[in-house]
Amino acid sequence: MAERGGRGTSSGSDSSLDKSITLPPDEIFRNLENAKCFAIDIGGSLTKLAYYSTVQHKVARVRSFDHSGKDIEHESPYEITVQEEITARLHFIKFENTYIETCLDFIKDHLVNTETKVLKATGGGAYKFKDLIEKKLGLKVDKEDVMTCLIKGCNFVLKNIPHEVFAYQKDSDTEFRFQTNHPNIFPYLLVNIGSGVSIVKKFDELLQLASKGQHTNVDMLVKDVYGGAYQTLGLSGNLIASSFGKSATADKEFSKDDMAKSLLHMISNDIGQLACLYAKLHNLHKIYFGGFFIRGHPVTMRTITYSINFFSKGEVQALFLRHEGYLGAIGAFLKGAEQDNPNQYSWGENYAGSSGLMSTSPDLCPMQRARSGTFDMFEMDRLERPLVNLPLLKDPSTYIPDTVDLTDDAMARKYWLTCFEEALDGVVNRAMVSQPDSMDAAERAEKFRQKYWNKLQTLRQQPFAYGTLTVRSLLDTREHCLNEFNFPDPYSKVKQKENGIALKCFPSVIESLDSLGWEERQFALVKGLLAGNVFDWGAKAVSDVLESEPQFGFEEAKEKLQERPWLEDSYSEWIQRLKEGPPHKCALIFADNSGIDIILGVFPFVRELLSRGTEVILACNSGPALNDVTYSESLIVAERIAAMDPIIQSALTEERLLLVQTGSSSPCLDLSKHIYFHPQVD
């Protein structure tokens, strides 16, 4: 912890740049020692800092053994090593201008070898604090146009962050309604409402007052003038006829709460009408709102949404951004990094290092509010390859990768959050076991536990914190937290053992399948394909089942399937389609779990397709996630299977069987974020 206090300032001075503050470098300015370049956006109230850093972390690698001249009966199929790898990360931090001098001091003290000589800066404060920044950091400040930076930043988050955009619906059970990313982000109107709109000094205090106020006590409504609705013009009685109208006619004192609510309505309605007129002028249907005036405040979002709906008669939609506060900083950073062209890469949000969308209500999650009221963080990791929509998607703009929205379904949300909490001990233990030679594995595992537990508690209070809450996002968050504490693949040894056991059983499974008649074999193949996914097998369960049922190894799983009679109809439909139609030219199969699933379920199915003349593309995760097979593991598994089976061997040699990586490191498929991996999928 590095503490800095105010210097040379009088107590209670509102104009002071210094303020006593404690900055934990591992929580706020993360990885600052490896920062390479900076950009800054200083508005009237908030400073947004962006920097690019290189991050060194551990990755699990697999490598095939050299089995020449050795008895491989009891050997593992491959060896596992943990190596260091360097990747790129973008960090964004938002804090109040009150703390700017302290934060600049902190940054200067922790910079080691930044490559930045010129600091890209935008916002009004880039002029006001130019001399201070150059003095503190020893960098030349190069000012950039505010609106250009905001637009560049908006384009960047719309392209790279799923569920970035949301609509605010006051009367919905879930007020934050997130939208699916559209492949084409244009056209749109961006309205940035800075702190200059807040004509009072303490804007947050105004909002606090407004949240308790009743504007109808101050505003004159249509019904106050006409005694009810004005039917001729189609005006309802509850519409505002005159802001502060009653204060001009009534000889009484009005409460500050009511006056604040009236003022907020007046500002929001003016903004909404102007924005709506511009949108209609350019035939636009989407308006994104951001800036200090918004910041996730329910009151401001509600009044602006109402205003846009009213003036556009529902033809224009008011939309908000989870990361609206960072648009200028992101744009300034992109301007300064054009030689590296960050847009040529795909980027993903790192949930482990991001604060999430925080409501400003002090009653909502006060534990988080105490910190996020001062600082807010957002991180993005650069992915190895550009990711695009899978070309086979019929309509990428309507594709939704998740079937259950936990943000919307309170019962399902409670169930799944409890499941992840109860599973946490097992994941912690698995992480420690995966690194038996590490002296600090237990300490790092405990840090992982605490961070992920805190994330789950935040999501209980604010399920919208990272966009639409799904099982996939919960799994992704867990993987990000594991990687944060250098547990790249906690299930690596489990997968190694499962794959070794399943490979030993592969010949007997194939022999059993080949002895069946054609129709009976198709049933067995489909059941085997599904059986591998009935539940996630632990290494001991796999060993017990396979050793007790060596003929096929799926009896326990198939019994689970037999409890679901509706599957028989699916089997019958599959067989009928095989009988009636010619073999498919090409099949795309996404591999899932290691062990039984891929080796005794997927590969026998692939083998049958190859025998029918179908070319097969087998897609696997690029990175580890739970016990899912990775691309590098699948290469070794395929190599071992090819040594036992001539059909697989010839298909690999002739490239009728292709193994590819998806670009994903998630346990759940998202076909909108995959590598464009082969022309055959066009």
What is the rounded distance in angstroms from the CA atom of residue 46 to the CA atom of residue 55? 27
Asked if pLDDT for residue 81 goes beyond 90, the answer is no
Average pLDDT over residues 264-292: 93
Residue 295 in tokens: 């910041």
More confidently predicted of 559 and 429: 429
Quick: pLDDT tens for 91-125.
999 888 888 988 888 888 877 666 678 889 999 88
Rounded CA separation 347/157 (Å): 9
Angle at 9 between CA 3 and CA 14, to 5 degrees: 100
**SS3 (DSSP) at 198:** coil
Residue 239 CB contacts under 8 Å (≥ 6 apart), including other chains: 221, 222
Of 20, 15, 16, nearest to 4 (Cα)?
A: 20
Diameter over CA atoms, the chain: 102
What phi, psi does 589 have (nearest 5°)?
-125, 130
Residue 494's pLDDT is 85
Return the exposure string of 365-403: e unless at least 16 CB atoms fall within 10 Å of the residue's CB, then b. beebbeebeebbbbbbbebeeebbbbeeeeebeebeebe
Beta bridge partners of residue 383, listed in sequence order: none
Query: 630 pairs with which residues across the strands?
Result: 621
Domain with CATH 3.30.420.40 in the chain: 168-218+254-321
Higher pLDDT, 449 or 76: 449
Mark residue 122 as left, alpha or beta (left: phi above 0; alpha: psi -120 to 50; beta: remaining).
beta
Stretch among 341-355, 469-483, 633-647 having the lowest mean pLDDT? 341-355
- Residue 555 banded pLDDT, cuts 50, 70, 90: low
CA distance 597 to 546: 12
CA distances from 16 to 3, 9, 97, 409 (A): 17, 7, 10, 47
Query: Of all residues in the chain, what percent carry a pLDDT higher than 90?
Result: 41
206 compared with 326, residue with greater pLDDT:
326
**What mean pLDDT comes out for the span 274-296?**
92
Q: Mean pLDDT across the stretch 124-143?
A: 90
Phi, psi of 381, deg, nearest 5: -105, 140
- The amino acid present at 459, given as its one-letter code, is L
Position 2 pLDDT exceeds 70: no
**pLDDT-derived band of residue 309, with 50, 70 and 90 as boundaries?**
very high
pLDDT at 483 over 60: yes
| CATH 3.30.420.40 applies to domain 168-218+254-321 | yes
Check residue 274 and give its pLDDT. 95
pLDDT tier for residue 69 given thresholds of 50, 70 and 90 = very low
Q: Does the pLDDT at position 284 exceed 90?
A: yes
Dump pLDDT digits (tens) for 149-188.
999 999 999 999 988 999 998 877 778 899 887 778 999 9
pLDDT, position 80: 86
Q: What mean pLDDT comes out for the span 25-43? A: 82
**What burial class does residue 249 get, using C-beta atoms within 10 Å of its C-beta: 0-12 exposed, 13-18 middle, 19+ buried?**
exposed
CA pair distance 374, 46, nearest whole angstrom:
10
> CA-to-CA distance for 533 and 605, rounded, in angstroms?
14
Residue 518, pLDDT > 80, answer yes
8 Å CB contact between 330 and 379: no
| Residue 673 dihedral angles phi and psi, to the nearest 5° | -130, 70
Q: CA dist 464 to 155, 176, 288, 290, 325, Å? A: 22, 7, 18, 18, 17
pLDDT at 362: 34
pLDDT grade for 359, boundaries at 50, 70 and 90: very low
Query: pLDDT above 70 covers what percent of the chain?
Result: 83
3-state secondary structure of 167: strand
Q: Is the pLDDT of residue 358 over 50?
A: yes
DSSP state of 196: G
Residue-level pLDDT at 528:
80
Average pLDDT estimate for 344-366 = 69
pLDDT of residue 565: 54
Query: What stretch(es) of the chain map to CATH 1.20.1700.10?
Result: 400-485
Is CATH 1.20.1700.10 the right assignment for the domain spanning 400-485?
yes
Q: Give the pLDDT score at 532.
A: 64
Q: Which residues have a Cβ under 8 Å from the Cβ of 511 and sit 6 or more positions away?
A: none
Tokens of 90: 């973008």
Residue with tokens 């795309």: 588
Whose tokens are 């959050």? That residue is: 417
Q: What is the mean pLDDT of residues 131-150?
A: 91
Please state, in angstroms and as integers, the Cα–Cα distance from residue 59 to each residue in 109, 286, 464, 623, following that order: 30, 42, 31, 9
Mean pLDDT of the chain: 82
CATH architecture observed for domain 25-64+75-162+327-387:
2-Layer Sandwich (3.30)
- The answer to whether residue 550 scores a pLDDT higher than 80 is no
pLDDT exceeds cutoff 70 at 21? no
Q: State residue 559's pLDDT score.
A: 56
**Mean predicted confidence (pLDDT) in 532-555:** 46
Instruction: Count other C-beta atoms under 10 Å from residue 232's C-beta.
Output: 7
Model pLDDT, residue 557:
53
Give rounded-to-5 percent helix, strand, coil for the chain: 45, 20, 35
DSSP code for 663: S
Label residue 469 by pLDDT band (50, 70, 90).
very high
Helix, strand, or coil here: 395?
coil
* Comparison of pLDDT for 552 and 230, the residue scoring more: 230
How far apart are the C-alpha atoms of 535 and 537, rounded to whole Å?
Answer: 6
Of the candidate ranges 4-13, 73-82, 448-457, the one whose mean pLDDT is the lowest: 4-13
Alpha helices, DSSP H, located in 19-172: 100-110, 125-128, 130-137, 146-160
Average pLDDT over residues 215-237: 85
Compute the distance between CA of residue 609 and CA of residue 611 in angstroms, rounded to an integer. 5
Kindly give the interhelix angle for 424-433 and 410-422, rounded to the nearest 10 degrees.
40
- Residues 22-36: what's their mean pLDDT? 72
More confidently predicted of 27 and 351: 351
pLDDT at 202: 67
| pLDDT for the residue numbered 34 | 86
For 48-85, give one letter per residue: b (16+ CB within 10 A) or e: bbbbbbebebbbbbbeeeeeeeeeeeeeebbebebeee
Classify the C-alpha dihedral 416-418-421-424 as positive or negative. Answer: negative
